[in-house]
Chains A and B, each alone.
Chain A
């Protein structure tokens, strides 16, 4: 059993090196997880920490998941992470948070006022088979631009609550390795895979970062000024940014620009 798990990790790291599309990489990771008993993942990272002061967790996190659609619908796509009870401890630096522990045990004083929200979401989670699993802290990458944190939630709905510890003991290390591979792939190797900016949008942001006015960008890219404005609006949406400054800053710190 041990050897097979190791083999799965090695095979994944080999095949990730050969992937060409982002969809492929994501599917490969999902397959690897599946073989070890994980039937749903939710991966996210936070490019700009300063946003956290005035925006919700869902707004500031680049997030992608393979959890049941009914679960996402029940919570609402715009609020997926806002009442995720594993998020506050994760941001405090806790590295493993089990889902089957009742949230009351984990909640800290400062989120007391939102307690009912967390409780509601926890119940929704239970209804949709999201009650067994674990949230992992993946990385605090300190580069020239400070800290970027990322984390992943692994859902193991086929495993009974009381068996989880035993399961984790066997598979935990391998699952962490797979998660590290996925983290490197989507944050460092191919960060655009989760944002999906097209070349035109990247060009516009690059020129904006280098200080060109809309008019100049329009001239250089042979487009109308209106098209440039629309392009920035699309980029803002994809980056979940509020202003153009914000979109440029976010794209820069994610590593999408090379001005």
Chain B
């Protein structure tokens, strides 16, 4: 097997003019060649949010894990019950999922809080989501944007996966960074999915315009502006308008 060529081919592919979906698909295929059959990718605009609002709110996440697993876990638990997400922003490098007790120990989770993690562990095992690894991708020290990936394998035993990871770590991480760079550099707007109207409204809010001004400038009704902002909040996973503006700004979706 020559993974080297696959990686070169992949990096050529993402440099071409492709949509986010096709880049995602191509990366998944390359991962599959090596033996990874499920991936999750997340961007964290503000690290502190993980501790203030929970991982699921803080991470802009996209995955190709089994649908049944995602449904059983529930949208909120997807990352809140994933201890590796908060360990990642605390500065931990790669973590295999095999020994979850050890991870809980590292994260200083009190014994009484471990119940939900135990439940999650059972769900994970039912869908064979217990073999995998979380990879730390990039930490931007000025703005604190972090991203990370989860890689899953459903066929190996614990021990096999650890050996597999030790052998293929380099290749897998190379594919991870290709996907990461491509999303952050070229596909962030479509990853978040803001429309032009939404971006304009955020830009106006950022530069200090009042609601009435935005309505006038955009030729929209009060109601339409409010709805636009609530769509922005939803897409950016933001709780308040400040929050949405701040996130859009650090992600480079609006200009300062």
Contact = CB atoms under 8 A, between A and B. Distances in A.
Q: Which of B208, B240, B242 has the most CB of A within 10 A?
A: B208
A246 B242 CA distance: 8
Contacts of A145: 143, 249-250, 252, 255-256
A206 B137 CA distance: 24
Given A259-B48, A259-B144, A209 B246 contact: yes
Interface stretch (A34-42, A46-54, A113-121): A46-54
B208 A241 contact: yes
A48 B240 contact: no
Given A210-B49, A248-B242, A51 B207 contact: yes
Given A143-B142, A255-B142, A259-B46, A243 B210 contact: yes
A211 B209 contact: no
Nearest to B252: A144
Interface string B37-63: 000000000111100110001000000
Contact of B246 (A47, A148, A259): A259
Contacts of A245: 205-206, 208, 241-242, 245
A229 interface: no
A55 B205 CA distance: 14
A50 B144 contact: no
B52 A210 contact: yes
Secondary structure class of chain A's binding surface, majority of residues: mixed
A212 B207 contact: no
A146 interface: yes
A249 interface: yes
B247 to A, nearest CB: 8
Contact of B208 (A49, A55, A255): A55
Given A208-B240, A246-B206, A259-B47, A49 B143 contact: no
Interface in A234-251: 241-246, 248-249
A253 interface: yes
A50 B208 CA distance: 9
B207 A246 contact: yes
A47 B47 CA distance: 23
B239 interface: yes
Interface string A49-70: 1110111000000000000000
B17 interface: no
Contacts of B252: 144-146
Nearest to A147: B256
Given A211-B240, A259-B47, A51 B53 contact: no
A229 to B, nearest CB: 14
Contacts of B249: 145, 249, 252-253
Given A54-B207, A208-B243, A246-B208, 6 more contacts: A50-B206, A54-B213, A145-B256, A211-B242, A212-B52, A259-B48
